[in-house]
Structure 1
Amino acid sequence: MTEVSYDLLVIGDVNPDVVLGPVRGLEFGQREQLVENGRLVLGGSAAIMACGAARLGLRVAFAGRVGDDAAGAFVRQALAARGVDVSHVVVDPQLPTPLTAIVTTGDGERAILTSSGCLAATGPQDVPAELLAGARHVHAASFFLMPRLARSLADVFAEARAHGATTSLDTNDDPAARWDRAPLDPVLKVTDVLLPNAAEARALSGLDRLTDAAQLLTRYGPTVVVKDGAEGALACAGGEPLRVGAVPVEPVDAVGAGDSFDAGFVAARLRGLELRASVQIAVACGSLSTRGHGGTATQPTWDEAWAASDLKGTE
């Protein structure tokens, strides 16, 4: 294996999020509505996951694409300020940085509106070979938002594995609602951990019962760890599924909680924790991230996540 430079390489989307809410029904017709909270924050599933992992103490590099514009400068600076290496982020000279507006209802529901910008141009050429060769783990997010990268992700993961790295994938939502498995199945065969939420697991599997959905997805190769909101998480590695309950918090904003969960799981596995303990850390990270506005403001340190999990009495 090549000398390791990073614990984690994250591949995927990065953009500014404008988070507004709570809103109890949008009115069109040029009606101006006032909301209690509004924030301009770092967004993108991959970016939030990268920040969460860095907060947990991992050495993290990011591979992706932004526009040559103020939004691109904002997200590069935000990632770097949180300890993520952005030296390999590609700046597109023509296409703009993606932009996302998130409207929350105050009871955990939200609408997400995204202008994709340069996401469709993001591809394997944006993932330097030296990063794949020098990372212990490679994580990809937002599979359906980047079709060019999606078509080559199996090769990217296979190359990472050839250098000794492990891999994980969070597909996130499919805006087209097609959930086309044709480009995804080859990726799952070289994915060590699949990290969907409950709705995504059901959509990917075509099954309503969550344990059945998780078990079916493991047949393609990965360990499947499903984020299940207030119910905690469900993990399946081919045998009997295991359940981990949620960590009680007073949530302020659930944006990015799933990405912080992903960061916690990967960090725990890289520290050598077994499956159940890793899921417990992941649940703690996802829960604690909801204490503030935006996806990164209240991401926990390792010590905070450990203290909030059921592992705190096992030192």
Structure 2
Amino acid sequence: MSDVDLLTVGEALVSLRSPGPLATGGTLTMHLAGAECNVAIGLARLGHRAAWAGRVSADELGEFVLRQLRAEGVGADGAHRDPDRPAGLMFLERRTADVTRVRYNRAGSAGSALNVDDLRGPLAAGARVLHLTGITPALSESAREAVTWAAREASAAGTFVSLDVNYRARLWSRAAARATLTPLAGYASVVVASADELDLVAEPGADETTAAADLLRRGVRTVLVKLGADGARAYTRDGVTEAAAVPVTAVDTVGAGDAFTAGYLSGHLDRLDLVDRLRRAVALGAFAVAAHGDWEGLPRRDELSLIAGSAAGTTLR
């Protein structure tokens, strides 16, 4: 059996956060970001053995990324240091109490140069779950080839493959995304998407039920639909299961979808039934939105009951 529960592949970003408008200057704080990193950290916090593979810059920013991953218990032996390309940057500015604006500087980044050879070693080492997102294949042709190769190889080896659609309009058009993600979904055991992303992995223009049925016919075991404040829905061959969101005071929604996915995959690794997997998924989503940062508020295993069992404003002594 593999020593790794989850392997994920993608671009790690250096996130620079501002409490006010970037144009007026002020203090920036540095954080680790990236959808795949968020999921890996979420799993590691819950005691699972998680590993990340990708490319980082061969400078202080690349070292920061690796130190952050390792500090959170995520294996980073599959990271390649790229001496020719910079770190991808993500800028977040709090424009109002309710609006956060995100900007990226990632063109030509180390992470975008991911290629098949970067993944041969990490994939050969084995993992119970391979987690991918629709962000990485949008970064470059080589990254697209690498992600498709990894999904195909893992699926052929019987590995559980997770795909979060995670569509980013600034990276590619819906048509381009559909051309890559629809066949990619065919290798997945579970597909995670918001309702408006489903037609990127299924029949164009299909409604939610039709899209889910299409994916299940193609071999996907579970289709997870993220509904935000309304919770989530899961489609399997046995029918539809729903979970309500955990009510919390939302302060930062960045990373909520990644937290949801981490919770679901943790439940899968713990062999929970579908209802309990969904409960853990929405609980982690609640932890994410109730704290600032992409992953900083995610719980340890002994903290899973904190939100569900506490009223707003509770102080635990």
Which TM bucket (shorter chain)? 0.7 to 0.9
| Alignment correspondent of 2:13 | 15
Among 147, 155, 159, the residue aligned to 1:161: 155
TM-score (norm 1): 0.85
Q: Counterparts of 1:146 and 1:132 in 2: how far apart (Å)?
A: 23
Contact 1:253/1:294 (8 A) holds in 2: yes
Contact 2:181/2:201 (8 A) holds in 1: no
Q: Counterparts of 2:245 and 2:99 in 1: how far apart (Å)?
A: 15
TM-score (norm 2): 0.84
Q: Alignment identity in percent? A: 33
Q: Label 1:124 to 1:75 Cα distance change in 2 as closer, same or farther (>3 A).
A: same
Contact 1:43/1:295 (8 A) holds in 2: yes
Q: Counterparts of 1:246 and 1:22 in 2: how far apart (Å)?
A: 29
Q: CA deviation at 1:38?
A: 5.1
Give a deviation string over 1:21-47, Cα, whole Å, max 9, x none. Answer: 466xx8xxxx6267xx85321101011
Contact 1:108/1:253 (8 A) holds in 2: no
Give a deviation string over 1:76-105, Cα, whole Å, max 9, x none. Answer: 110010001112200111011111112344
Please state whether the residue corresponding to 2:179 is helix, strand or coil.
coil
Contact 2:185/2:201 (8 A) holds in 1: no
Among 167, 186, 189, the residue aligned to 1:173: 167
Contact 2:182/2:201 (8 A) holds in 1: no
| Alignment correspondent of 2:121 | 129
| Alignment correspondent of 1:111 | 102
Q: CA deviation at 1:302?
A: 2.6
Contact 2:165/2:181 (8 A) holds in 1: no
| Alignment correspondent of 1:221 | 219
Q: Label 1:224 to 1:103 Cα distance change in 2 as closer, same or farther (>3 A).
A: farther
Give a deviation string over 1:221-272, Cα, whole Å, max 9, x none. Answer: 3221122211111211245332211111112211111111111111100111
Q: CA deviation at 1:164?
A: 3.6
AA of the residue aligned to 2:117: Q
Q: Counterparts of 1:84 and 1:228 in 2: how far apart (Å)?
A: 28
| Alignment correspondent of 2:192 | 195
Please state whether the residue corresponding to 1:246 is helix, strand or coil.
coil
Please state whether the residue corresponding to 1:241 is helix, strand or coil.
strand
More contact order relative to length (CA 8 Å, sep ≥ 6): 1
Q: What do you get for the CA RMSD once the two structures are aligned? A: 2.5
Q: Label 1:221 to 1:154 Cα distance change in 2 as closer, same or farther (>3 A).
A: farther
Structure 1's unaligned 5+ residue stretches are 311-315
Q: Counterparts of 1:263 and 1:192 in 2: how far apart (Å)?
A: 15
Q: Counterparts of 2:283 and 2:140 in 1: how far apart (Å)?
A: 29
Q: Counterparts of 1:130 and 1:33 in 2: how far apart (Å)?
A: 41
| Alignment correspondent of 2:51 | 61
My pick for the range that moved more, 90-99 or 109-118, is 109-118
Q: Label 1:238 to 1:48 Cα distance change in 2 as closer, same or farther (>3 A).
A: same
Q: Counterparts of 2:175 and 2:36 in 1: how far apart (Å)?
A: 19
| Alignment correspondent of 1:92 | 82
My pick for the range that moved more, 231-240 or 284-293, is 231-240
Give a deviation string over 1:267-303, Cα, whole Å, max 9, x none. Answer: 1001111222211111110111222221121101233
My pick for the range that moved more, 269-278 or 167-176, is 167-176
